[in-house]
Amino acid sequence: MKALLILFFTAIAVLFAGLSKNRKTLQTIALAGSILALLATGIDLMLGDTTGLNEHYATMFRFDQYALAFSAVVLIGTVLILGLSGWGFRALTDTLGDNYGLILFSLCGALCMFSFTNMVMLFLGIEILSIPMYVMAGSRRDEPESNEAALKYFLMGAFATGFLLFGIALVYGATASFDMQVIARAIAEGKHSLGMLHMGILLMLVGLSFKVSAVPFHFWAPDVYTGSPNLVTAFMSTVVKTAGFAALYRLFSSAFVDAIDFWGITVAAIAALTMTLANVTALFQTNFKRMMAYSSISHAGYLLLAVLAIGQAGSAGAMLLYTLSYSIATICAFAVYILVAEQNNNASLDAFNGLSKREPFLAAVMVISMLSLAGIPPTAGFFGKYFLFTAAFERYPWLIGLAVINSAISIYYYFKVIIAMYFVRDEASPVVVTPVGFKWVVAGGLVLIALLTLAPGSVYGLI
């Protein structure tokens, strides 16, 4: 609750400060508020402080260890993204205060999605998260790709919200409550309308699958990721995805855990389709952002394994470690892409040709990011996949086998970037100018990846 209030008031302050049109002032305020919220969350997490306001809002919110841990993940990602946003290029230059404020408001929605105990708050959290994203996706009004991204994102989001609300209504009709504890008790005791409940669960699953871009509800993601401003895409593929999966896990583990025999096979089928279709399609991509879009979809397939492992020891901790390692690696990869692509005016993988000769530091950052995303040991991404696969193996061994095969397939397209940087020469490309502040932010991301690699259990054991 402390972090939520800090972010809300910081967002208001940023909107008023936006009248000055001073980028440094806006970035400083946004960063200071995010870091303060992260510190407050970290202190509560370390002390185990889940009391206080929980007593007053227990029927709507509960800021327990789960909510605090995932709040820390998205706050770390947001701090890195805000740190990258102040170094010129075409990051968030168009509307200054509006974009900074919208990012913070969207983050408030994410925190609601981690802590809800009532399905009304789930809906409000999703909308608070999503509406600013629709605006930011189309913030470059003079670019057709950005307009297309905003339109597709808004339309698909509206359809997803319709499915979600219809599902919530049916679940309410079946159990006579929006409260997740009451719903879980009604399902366990058999005091519900079976057909209405099953239809409600399926519709809610469809709505949330749109939000996390799981197959076959993923078709908006590649175009939206490609057309949105680069840092907005980075935020969308990390913070928004983490919020979606944390909400999905909390909903199904708290309310629908006793109905897992019904929805488990459906989620397993979605996971299998998601990781397979996304990885195979990513093999043929030549645009970096489009490749990362399909990479993000494939990781959605892996993260669905945590939902299938509900009830197994360590499933929530495995998802926490996975989302943190994935988010940091993705943000670092986008940081390098922003510098290389925007200075070369080239969005394809060819922009990375010979980068190791021109800028060894950036090439090393990209290598570590790609290896972590691919799950190559001993990177943080490997430990994330290991814990996730272990948690789900007992219940779905065939799906873990498919996930391992898909992880091997993904190595090919991640290594295409590494090969371009180290084994393809391109003397015509200009030297990449890297601001000092940019290097500090990326170095911070590398330190976090190193810490996760050395001590993954410290994150895994938080929940």
pLDDT tens-digit map of 265-310 = 999 999 999 999 999 999 998 889 999 999 999 999 999 999 999 8
Q: What per-residue confidence (pLDDT) applies to 274?
A: 94
Q: What per-residue confidence (pLDDT) applies to 60?
A: 83
Cβ–Cβ under 8 Å, residues 413 and 291: yes
**Residues 325-354: what's their mean pLDDT?**
86
Q: Can you spell out the DSSP letters for 267-321?
A: HHHHHHHHHHHHHHHHTT--BHHHHHHHHHHHHHHHHHHHHHTTTSTTHHHHHHH
Q: What per-residue confidence (pLDDT) applies to 54?
A: 58
Chain mean pLDDT for the chain? 87
**Residues 40-48: what's their mean pLDDT?**
84
Tokens 């979600």 found at: 164
Q: What per-residue confidence (pLDDT) applies to 50?
A: 59
pLDDT band at 193; cut points 50, 70, 90: confident
Closest listed residue to residue 244, CA positions, set 183, 189, 317, 319: 319
Is pLDDT above 60 for 215?
A: yes
Q: What per-residue confidence (pLDDT) applies to 53?
A: 54
Q: What per-residue confidence (pLDDT) applies to 96?
A: 56
pLDDT: which is higher, 428 or 350: 350
**Residues 203-208: what's their mean pLDDT?**
93
Least confident range from 52-66, 215-229, 448-462: namely: 52-66
Is pLDDT above 50 for 89?
A: no
**Residues 337-356: what's their mean pLDDT?**
83
**Residues 363-375: what's their mean pLDDT?**
92
> Which residues, at least 6 apart from 326, have a Cβ–Cβ distance to it below 8 Å?
238, 299, 372, 373, 381, 384
Task: In whole angstroms, give the CA distance from residue 33 to residue 27.
Answer: 10
Q: What per-residue confidence (pLDDT) applies to 95?
A: 53
- C-alpha separations of 267 from 47, 119, 255, 304 in Å: 35, 20, 16, 7
pLDDT tens-digit map of 374-426 = 989 888 999 999 999 999 888 889 999 999 999 999 999 999 999 988 888 77
pLDDT: which is higher, 348 or 207: 207
**Residues 8-28: what's their mean pLDDT?**
83
pLDDT: which is higher, 432 or 32: 32
Q: Can you spell out the DSSP letters for 144-180?
A: HHHHHHHHHHHHHHHHHHHHHHHHHHHHHHHHS-SBH
| Residues paired with 118 in a beta bridge | 179
pLDDT band at 457; cut points 50, 70, 90: confident
CA 79 to chain centre: 14
Cβ–Cβ under 8 Å, residues 100 and 84: no
Q: What per-residue confidence (pLDDT) applies to 176?
A: 87
Top mean pLDDT of 8-17, 189-198, 340-349 is at 8-17
Is pLDDT above 70 for 55?
A: no
Q: What per-residue confidence (pLDDT) applies to 77?
A: 93
Q: What per-residue confidence (pLDDT) applies to 93?
A: 47
Is pLDDT above 50 for 91?
A: no
In 314-359, alpha helices (H): 315-344, 355-358
Q: What per-residue confidence (pLDDT) applies to 110?
A: 93
91 burial via Cβ count (<10 Å: 0-12, 13-18, 19+)? buried
Per-residue burial over 246-269, b = 16 or more CB atoms within 10 Å of its CB, e = otherwise: bbbbbbbbbbbebbbeebbeebbe
**Residues 21-47: what's their mean pLDDT?**
86
Number of H helices, E strands in the chain: 20, 0
Task: Give the pTM.
Answer: 0.92
Cβ–Cβ under 8 Å, residues 317 and 460: yes
Is pLDDT above 80 for 154?
A: yes
Task: In whole angstroms, give the CA distance from residue 335 to residue 231.
Answer: 8
pLDDT tens-digit map of 226-261 = 888 888 899 999 999 999 999 999 999 988 988 888
Q: What per-residue confidence (pLDDT) applies to 57?
A: 66
Q: In the 8-state DSSP scheme, what is residue 430?
A: P
How many Cα atoms are found within 13 Å in the side-chain-facing hemisphere of 197?
A: 24
Is pLDDT above 50 for 98?
A: yes
Element (H, E) at 447: helix 436-454
Q: Three-state SS for 245?
A: helix
pLDDT band at 209; cut points 50, 70, 90: very high
